[in-house]
Structure 1
């Protein structure tokens, strides 16, 4: 167990994650040749097994593999960098014990780097940082480390110094051991150890001193020697770095160029030396038999089994379920219990994944990441051996921000394939939502962005031979309130026999900005029961809560979901015969809709955090283009050598359609951008009036039909 490492490789798009994974697999002997990510040689990177991934040169689905480095067994998940597929990063970090945060040596910390860092902190994942692309013009590891400290607020320090930068990059110096590494051979497979070059001895000594200072800030053993101005032995320093990395108080920074085959082998040494084994990571489950009390799990294969299904994938053999075993053991032919459904299933087949290839195994113990075939379950279902009621907590799932109207071509075969595909896609990807619009009767798919939805439309065509007609993308607006409003609503209905009677009294008010629940996650709706006495019998209070929640599903202005609201129930009235759960649920929903009209309702739109990178001469063009799209510029600056500019802005999502085409044309194809959802903010008055008018018109047209 001490030699097992479960790691994820995460970063901003185009930072070199998949290229790095390809080198790791080559140097550990898992693959026999290195191939280009974009598949120009007709093969493509091992971890990008989907045809779409090789065409676009991006990772769309996270892919799992395993390899050996020395005595260590390393399970790796390569994750997407594009924000549209952030759920893949989320689910990977939920189950992994450590991570490698890859950063571009030129661009440093970028928008998706911030998102990945938040996800790592959310799940308490220790990480190493790897500054990649040091062979590129403008690379500056010092700037990247400053970004780690200033933007991500990490206690980071270099454990290596590069030997040359840009075209002169030839290796790295290990400042702990005081040796230089050169990477020789056709593919950099031969690591040559040599003394530190004379011109780098001062820089290596300064880097080691800075490393000791940073570790001393968080480690008492090193601090004691540092204060006494004594030398810190390398073995003691490595142990301290490992302790504080696992405690998430320190981030060691490695360097190199994956594409040029430099720095990868020392990074693998760092994964083994500094990232935790499964036994060193505290994992907790919720005991459903004891009011969901937290219970510490033991990474012991002989204890009751607890495993989490974290990813689903369809393949020619049926559903492939990726599992992380936290406690106990899974064996082929044995039985498991799905805690969510209560079903008992027999494990038909167990495999270890190597991208899209499989290797049969007969059993998997605590700490392993494996996959099962032929098991019908949902993502984030917990499996046990039936002797325990421990359930693993789920992951954070962001709300979709963009929608498309989609219609399959005519024909019963297309309709059946279309329904089957959407059922599979929504089961695999929690950020993809499908519903039918009640007014237009159109099928609406919602996701994290244009690329996210485009990929699923393309997969419908390729994997299910379903051609689709696609409507213009629409934005997922929300509604909210701006002031308090009281309600006193009576629901009374008598149609012969027992009727319906319920009165609810209380008020609604805006939620405080940044309101979070006990788990620290943002909340958009809160129900508070302030009823004193039994005017509303206690058994009807949950029905009132459900009714108020029903009322938030569709606001009165544009029919959008309501958020940012607290409902406080203070009093009510019941009837001995005619009151029921349904009556109070109906009364609560109607009371909420009525009160919202007096609470200053407003329409909210999604605001995206946008980051544009382009050659410096296009900065003015980019800024003016964003101003036309109602963007609020947050920062605009040059990199160290003045060759490129990075513009960060907050832009309404409704203004971002077609931006990729505009950016390419205005920067001669040299500009690139990434954006992620930031928050919902009120729209301007004229936009609100237009949206309300459009909604009323569409509703009237639907009623006429």
Structure 2
């Protein structure tokens, strides 16, 4: 039996992926701001540039080329966030990042909907068996239509996609808020950069559309809950407390995909997305990994706990001014500065030197990393896909390499 939300480990490892120009990096920048990681928002094509696009060429071209990692706090949870490239030329960067993650936020443009690279990313997400949320962005743009995008998404990508909130427009058609279907509240975003979220009762004109959309959500959930099915049949009210655990379980099992709406540029709908990351996507221990014993070929299931033997996966390697930087996902156990570990591929014994937590182009020195953490390790010669253990010859498996783009 899977843990309920309040029992889950307070850590999430997520990626943000999208077709180019769906607003993915703009969304990442707002997440960093609302989580208190940065105090000034940089724009993708502005004079400062986006925090997660730290490479000179990324700032010059206004696109993400390399996956960038950071960690933020949201409530009592830590969220390791990887912003991935959206351009087809850098699909391998997305593949590397997804191998380290437990969930994905797939960003769609509210005007264009599902685009070619969306389909590629969907195949990658499925290959890694990752739960996801969808954020329909740019709903402030002329021609944006959340319902049309949802229909496109359900038809071409994910028939289990379900709306959990709706965009709220004023009389002039301007996006001004979000309707929370689960709690039946209107959310507005006020103060500096929309940092203050205010919930208020629904105005009369929104009650009908809200109840209709909520009923469709409950009908989808009824396929995964006898209790909700019985309540619908008997005409009994279904509370938020009943909805959330059912939707969470169905999301983690990849049966349903919560869909949220907003505009990162207008700073509307980002905080509810962060709430949904914590609420619906899995903790590391809820996605136990399988490794292969190199000597015997036997598949072994890791429990994902900090008390077990170390297993750390090198999912990305960068050459930097301070030497090779290896991005590690700690799948099980603990990794400590000064510890001696084994590269399971080569059999080489190495000493863990400089261990860091990464925030885009800056770093924080740390002494220890535990199961679920995503960290950087300096001064170790290895390649993508290597596994570090306390002596066991375990392999996470080869990375899928997409066909070259001509």
TM-score, normalised relative to structure 2:
0.96
Alignment partner of 1:384 out of 376, 380, 389: 389
CA change 1:253–1:153 in 2 (3 A) is closer
Match of 1:110 among 110, 115, 118: 115
Secondary structure of 2:135 counterpart = strand
Question: What residue number does 1:458 align with?
Answer: none
Partner of 1:151: 156
User: Deviation above 6 Å: which 4+ runs of structure 1?
Assistant: none
Shift of 1:394: 2.2
Shift of 1:55: 1.0
Structure-2 separation of matches of 1:91 and 1:237: 34
2:57 is the alignment partner of 1:52: yes
Q: What is aligned with 1:213?
A: 219
Question: Counterparts of 1:438-477 in structure 2 under 5 Å?
Answer: 448-449=405-406
In structure 2, C-alpha distance between the alignment counterparts of 1:133 and 1:186, rounded to whole Å: 20
Q: How big is the shift at 1:154? A: 2.7
Superposition pairs of residues 352-501 of structure 1, within 5 angstroms: 352-386=357-391, 388-400=392-404, 448-449=405-406
The one of 251, 263, 266 aligned to 2:269: 263
Equivalent pair of 1:161/1:203 in contact (CA under 8 Å): no
Match of 1:173 among 176, 179, 189: 179
What is the match of residue 11 of structure 1? Answer: 18
Q: Give the TM-score of the pair, scaled to structure 1.
A: 0.56
Answer whether contact 2:224 2:246 (CA < 8 A) is retained.
Answer: no
Shift of 1:35: 1.2
Q: Does 1:80 align with 2:66?
A: no
CA distance in 1, matches of 2:96, 2:155: 27
* CA RMSD of superposed structures (Å): 1.3
Aligned-partner SS, 1:95: coil
Contact persistence 1:136–1:167 (CA under 8 A)? no
CA distance in 2, matches of 1:95, 1:223: 36
Q: Pick the aligned partner of 2:35 from 25, 28, 34.
A: 28
Offset of 1:171 from its aligned partner?
0.8
Contact 1:175 1:208 in 2 (8 A): yes
Q: Secondary structure at the match of 1:319?
A: strand
| 1:219 Cα offset (Å) | 3.5
The 8 Å contact of residues 12 and 112 in structure 1, kept in 2 or not, is answered as: yes
Question: Which 5+ residue runs of structure 1 have no aligned equivalent?
Answer: 401-447, 450-705
User: Which deviations, in whole Å up to 9, do the C-alpha atoms of 1:626-664 show, x marking residues without a partner?
Assistant: xxxxxxxxxxxxxxxxxxxxxxxxxxxxxxxxxxxxxxx
Q: By how many angstroms is 1:201 displaced?
A: 1.1
In structure 2, the residue matched to 1:120 is 125
Matched residue, 1:469: none
Bigger shift: 184-193 or 99-108? 184-193
Asked whether the 8 Å contact 1:241–1:250 carries over to 2, the reply is yes
8 Å contact from structure 1 (residues 221, 240) kept in 2: no
| Partner Cα separation in structure 2 for residue 225 and residue 195 of structure 1 | 24
Does structure 1 retain, via aligned residues, the 8 Å contact 2:49–2:59?
A: yes
Partner Cα distance (2:231, 2:327) in 1: 46
Shift of 1:227: 3.4
Partner of 1:300: 305
Larger Rg: 1
* Structure 2 Cα separation of the partners of residues 212 and 155 of structure 1: 13
Match of 2:314 among 292, 309, 313: 309
- Mapped to 1, the partners of 2:364 and 2:99 lie a distance apart of 24
Match of 1:200 in 2: 206
Kept after mapping to 2: 8 A contact 1:351/1:370:
yes
1:101 is aligned to 2:116: no
Counterpart of 2:325 (choices 320, 327, 351) is 320
SS in structure 1 opposite 2:375? Answer: strand
Q: Aligned residue for 1:493?
A: none
Q: For the Cα contact (< 8 Å) 1:114–1:152, is it kept in 2?
A: yes
Q: What is the CA–CA distance in structure 1 between the aligned matches of 2:241 and 2:274, rounded to whole Å?
A: 18
Contact persistence 1:105–1:131 (CA under 8 A): yes
Question: CA 1:143–1:381 in 2, change beyond 3 Å: closer, same or farther?
Answer: same
1:204-240 Cα deviation digits (max 9, x unpaired): 1111000011122233442333333322221110110
* Equivalent position of 2:4 in the other structure: none
Give the whole-Å Cα distance in 2 for the aligned partners of 1:194 and 1:229.
26
Q: Summarize deviations over 1:312-358 as a string: whole Å, max 9, x none.
A: 11111100000000011100000110011111110101101100100
Query: C-alpha distance in 2, partners of 1:84/1:219?
Result: 42
Task: Point out which structure has higher relative CO (alpha carbons under 8 A, 6+ apart).
Answer: 2
Asked if 1:70 is matched to 2:80, the reply is: no
Query: How far apart are residue 288 of structure 1 and its match?
Result: 2.1
Task: Report how many residues are paired.
Answer: 398
CA contact (8 A) 1:172 1:180 kept: yes
Q: 1:154 to 1:293 in 2, by over 3 A?
A: farther
